[in-house]
Amino acid sequence: MQLIQNIPFISIMLSILAGVFCFASKAKLAERLTLGALAAITLMSAALLAELWQTGESFIFSMGHFPAPWGNELRAGVFEALMALAFSVVMLLSLIAGRERIYDDIAPARQGLYFLMINLLMSSLLALIYTNDLFTAYVFVEINTLAACAIVASKDTGETITATIRYLIMSLLGSGMLLIAISLIYSVTGHLLMDHIRASLEILAAKGSYEVPLAVVILLISVGLAIKSALYPFHTWLPTAHGSATTASSAILSGVVLKGYVILLLKIFYRVFGLEFIHQLQVANLLFAFGLAGMIFGSLYALREHNIKRLLAYSSVAQVGYIFMGIGLSTATGTVAACFHILAHAITKPMLFCAADGLMETSGHSRQIHDLKSAGHKNRLAGLAFTAGSLSMIGIPLFSGFVSKFYFATASLESPGKMVMTLLVLALSTLLNAMYFVPVIVTIYAHEDEGLAQGEELSFADQFIPEAEPEETGEPPLVHKSPVSYKLTMILFILLNIFLGCAYGPVLEIIERGLLMF
Amino acid sequence: MRRLSENEFRIIRRFRRLYAVVAALVCLMMISLLFLTVSNLPIFGEESNPANNEVVERYLEKGLEETGAVNITAGIILDYRAFDTFGESTVLFLAVAAVWMLLKKEEKEIRVLMEETLTYAPKEDVIFRTVARFLTPCILLFGIYIILNGHLSPGGGFSGGAVMGSGLILYNLSNGTARTRRFLNEKVFTRVVMGALFFYALAKSYSFFTGGNHLESLIPLGTPGSIFSGGLILPLNIAVGLVVACTGYGIYALFARGGL
Amino acid sequence: MKAFMVLILLFLIGCSLAVSLTKKLLTAVIIFMSYSLAMSIVWIVLKAPDLAVTEAAVGAGITSILFFLTLARIKEMKGEKDEASK
Amino acid sequence: MGGNFFTNYVEISAVVLFCIGFSTLLFHQNLLKKIIGFNIMDTAIYLFLAAKGYIADSDPAIIVDGILDAGRYVNPLPGALVLTGIVVSVSVTAFSLALVLRLYEKYGTMHMDEILYLSREDR
């Protein structure tokens, strides 16, 4: 056993220990600890990814002295390592970018506890990525739920606490379904570890017994996790929670937390049931239909919003729809595209939230879009980042969003029954995305004297103009000073997005190989 | 604070009716699906059910030898599946931190709440105080017994800790906060909880690390059945018991007056 | 044994229905407490004494205390508000 | 309906309890009732899970007299899982009750609809 194989275990323990330590420490110390732990996890995950990429193997780490069906296990392959790396990078960047706002929004006595929640959130996400055991997954899903609710509630306004309780109630429904599904699985197979459940399910499938319970199990798990990852008809909690929390929380929740559940669902589909079983039961078609509905309705809701953070939150609903649509295509390419979109959205949406925060700062923290007029001139970097993020969301080449859309389209060609629907909805959703992002870009680059109505009439074809505008304009009236750390993270976010948009080849290959290893 | 007007109530009620129909449909679907499922499951109480397989066989036949715990459940939660239990303690810790974040008040406000006789604390009641004086030591002792015998008899850190926590709550109700604070104030609370959790995390990390890397563990298991047996199970039970007792009392205090 | 089990299970269902249908919150909490205690008897019948101890201490003990406290605090706040509005 | 409807009476009542809890969580607009409903739902799942470990005519899994025969004892694993679950649900209950208290401090009500309506003005 090499030392490098301890990395999953060490990173989970590190974040839990850092979380425990934050309980009694002051905010500054807690922040340093959290950032340090996140940076260490990032480095370790990168090392793990490099190592596993070279050897091309996955490994199993047993937690304790007892092997497979008796003890707990962690499992890591390139896919898991890539996701851990992406999640820790996004966490780190969003925390640094939203740092100022954390200290503004949250009462001093609570700041240390906020970082505690962040640490435990990270540990639960890592555990969800790495675990090989369904019941461990349930326990960490609960940690994830509580920590995510707590980072919304930390702002302590009436709005956030109302949002939290809605979020909590929906999440509890979801975890109840997950738990009853796990007990049903246990009752028919007698195992909790994914590999062993798979083995005994194959025997059961050969005999043809327990077909009804297994179908119900898949349905319950899909619905339970879909509630938690805000698939369209279950998304009602998301806009208030993501729209009202402090910037770093919104960024982390939309970029990372939603995706953790999707990854768990993928793991269960691939490693517990096997794809053929899923396809037999038409669950994939259900997810496909809900995903398509989410892509359209999420965008339609976003079109009606005048509040920039809620607009971004509704856009998350649409993007989660994309991911489930990709999974629902039920081809290998579709799943790869969905996984790539997980990454693309994980780096784009936090950037948008942080950029929106930078823009809002210039206009006295108003969240209304019409108050952000010419904010892009006052805080140029935030404006640039917001533009880049929007273009990525719309799906302009060079940015990551384009790659995932392209791959969704390619994947749809492989499943003839769903091709027409997918292509149509993709086109429609792109159009809708443009329809709500372009007016915002136009508004933030409008001069104070220009009317807003003019901007709203701009059509889809005009979207390239705003990108060029920052260079053209003369002296902006008031340049907002943001801290260097904020600027650096925004630049990093943009570079990462362009990197994913241009050098997507190796990333896709990692995902493909990782999914084959599952 | 403003009340809702009649018109606003009407809007809500209309929305509510739609919601009720949808929810009723969901519930009906759920119950019929689950009935269908359960009637297709293996028969209750049969020994040949799939759940009673080789996994459980090893727990029962080798559990005593491998973990040193007579109570197999304690062996499972603190040794075989210790990672789950560690996650569970983390959830409890997280809950305390979250409640602390939501309800913690300034020391000044706590003082005010302490001085006022709370409506639900019958401190002046003679019967209550006398009974409490006899009961509190018994409850605390019983909690300690449950914790220490966790590997030998039913119980363990969680149940014993909860019993001790309720003993502390009873002490607080009958003797007042000022006297409770002499031995359990914020400083002690933080130190005990963090210390116990650190010990738990480090001890479990050690066994995860040695287990994952296939090294020998250096902790002796002792003779099964005696109090000092079961390797790490007894110290872990004590650590968990301390955490649960403190968090139980801590959550109570935060709810009652916004601070310890 | 089976008859006893069925009886407790019926009691549990009755309790949960009562909780869901009563108007008064305090009554609902008290019924829920007895529900938890009945549940701990179920654990004993199912030969899981660890669960029985834990359910009695945590479910019937700590959880009920928290519910009572919440009700008491809410009543206090209501009283303060009424006084303020007078 | 499958054939084991009446033999699985414990599981059936667990399902009934689950659905009562589920509908309490969905239908009731009082937050405290919702939380009690969630607790009922959780205990129902635990009942379901623990029933999986029961074997008729056997002893609790505590090896008192040193007899190591797997056929003599009930299955201890579901019990261990439920133990974990109970603590998780008490933590969630504590957190949600704290949220209810904060909401009451802010809005003076525990009714979900009123809170939703009142919080809309905070935006």
**Assigned domain for A419 exists:** yes
Give CA angle at A25 (A22, A29), nearest 5°: 90
Contacts of A50 (CB under 8 A, 6+ apart): none
| pLDDT average, residue stretch D44-69 | 83
| Nearest CB partner across the interface for B94, out of A120, A188, A219 | A120
Interface confidence (ipTM) of the complex = 0.93
- B233 CB neighbours in chain C (<8 A) are none
Taking an 8 Å cut-off on Cβ atoms, the answer to whether B165 and C73 are in contact is: no
Cβ atoms of residues C56 and D40 within 8 Å:
no
Q: How high is the pLDDT of residue A452?
A: 45
Taking an 8 Å cut-off on Cβ atoms, the answer to whether B71 and D62 are in contact is: yes
pLDDT tens-digit map of A122-155: 999 999 999 989 999 999 999 999 999 999 999 8
Structural domain containing residue B61: 54-257
Greater pLDDT, B218 or B98: B98
Structural domain containing residue A385: 282-518
The domain segmentation of chain D, as residue ranges, is 9-122
* Chain C interface mutation, best of B60, B144, B159, highest count of C Cβ atoms under 10 Å: B159
Does residue A482 register a pLDDT over 80? no
Q: How high is the pLDDT of residue B123?
A: 64
What is the residue-wise DSSP string for A175-210? HHHHHHHHHHHHHHH---BHHHHHHHHHHHHHHT-S
**A91 falls in which pLDDT band (50, 70, 90)?**
very high
| Nearest CB partner across the interface for B155, out of C53, C66, C73 | C53
Neighbours of chain A (3+ CB pairs under 8 A): B, D
What's the count of helices (H) and strands (E) in chain A, helices before strands?
Answer: 24, 2
Q: How high is the pLDDT of residue D1?
A: 59
| pLDDT average, residue stretch B105-124 | 69
Beta partners for A133? Answer: A193
Scanning C9-68 for CB atoms below 8 A from B yields 48-50, 52-54, 56-58, 61-62, 65-66, 68
Contacts of A232 (CB under 8 A, 6+ apart): A290, A291, A293, A294, A297, A298, A317, A320, A321
| pLDDT average, residue stretch A449-473 | 44
Cβ atoms of residues B96 and B251 within 8 Å:
yes
| pLDDT average, residue stretch A169-187 | 91
Does residue A474 register a pLDDT over 80? no
In angstroms, the separation between the Cα of residue B229 and the nearest Cα of chain A is 17
| Nearest CB partner across the interface for A212, out of D2, D26, D42 | D2
Taking an 8 Å cut-off on Cβ atoms, the answer to whether A188 and B50 are in contact is: yes
SS3 A99: helix
Contacts of B146 (CB under 8 A, 6+ apart): B155, B156, B159, B160, B163, C53
Q: How high is the pLDDT of residue D17?
A: 92
Counted domains in chain B: 1
* Chain D interface mutation, best of B19, B59, B60, highest count of D Cβ atoms under 10 Å: B60
* Dist CA C46 CA B42 (whole Å): 17
Taking an 8 Å cut-off on Cβ atoms, the answer to whether C17 and D58 are in contact is: no
* Dist CA A171 CA A295 (whole Å): 22
Q: How high is the pLDDT of residue D101?
A: 92
**A61 falls in which pLDDT band (50, 70, 90)?**
confident
Q: How high is the pLDDT of residue A98?
A: 87
* Closest CA relative to residue A259, chosen from A195, A320, A332: A320
Taking an 8 Å cut-off on Cβ atoms, the answer to whether A139 and D96 are in contact is: no
What architecture is domain D9-122?
A: Orthogonal Bundle (1.10)
Q: How high is the pLDDT of residue D47?
A: 92
- A153 CB neighbours in chain D (<8 A) are 99, 102
Question: What is the pTM (predicted TM-score) of this model?
Answer: 0.92
**A466 falls in which pLDDT band (50, 70, 90)?**
very low
Give CA angle at D9 (D4, D10), nearest 5°: 125
Taking an 8 Å cut-off on Cβ atoms, the answer to whether A139 and D100 are in contact is: no
CA distance to A282, C27, C41, D40, per residue, from C35 (Å): 40, 12, 10, 9
Does residue D122 register a pLDDT over 80? no
Taking an 8 Å cut-off on Cβ atoms, the answer to whether D98 and B99 are in contact is: yes
Taking an 8 Å cut-off on Cβ atoms, the answer to whether A113 and B217 are in contact is: no
Taking an 8 Å cut-off on Cβ atoms, the answer to whether A117 and B98 are in contact is: yes
Q: How high is the pLDDT of residue A465?
A: 43
Q: How high is the pLDDT of residue B75?
A: 86
| pLDDT average, residue stretch B70-91 | 88
Taking an 8 Å cut-off on Cβ atoms, the answer to whether B255 and C61 are in contact is: no
Q: Using the 8-state DSSP alphabet, how is residue A372 labeled? A: G
Neighbours of A468 (CB within 10 A): 9
Contacts of A361 (CB under 8 A, 6+ apart): A379, A382, A480, A482
In angstroms, the separation between the Cα of residue B126 and the nearest Cα of chain D is 31
Cβ atoms of residues A255 and A345 within 8 Å:
yes
Q: How high is the pLDDT of residue A447?
A: 78
Cβ atoms of residues A146 and A175 within 8 Å:
no
3-state secondary structure B137-190: HHHHHHHHHHHHCCCCCCCCHHHHHHHHHHHHHHHHHHHCHHHHHHHCCHHHHH
What is the residue-wise DSSP string for B27-86? HHHHHHHHHHHHHTSPPTT-TTSTTSSHHHHHHHHHHHHHH--SBHHHHIIIIITHHHHH
| pLDDT average, residue stretch C14-31 | 91
pLDDT tens-digit map of B202-254: 998 888 888 888 887 777 777 777 777 777 888 899 999 999 999 999 999 99
pLDDT tens-digit map of A232-279: 888 888 988 988 888 899 999 998 999 999 999 999 998 888 887 877
| pLDDT average, residue stretch B140-147 | 93
Counted domains in chain A: 1
Four-CA torsion B13, B16, B20, B22, nearest 10 degrees: 140
**Structure token digits, residue A209:** 């017994």
**Assigned domain for B22 exists:** no
Residue-averaged pLDDT of chain C: 88
Q: How high is the pLDDT of residue A280?
A: 78
SS3 A97: helix
pLDDT tens-digit map of B194-203: 999 999 999 9
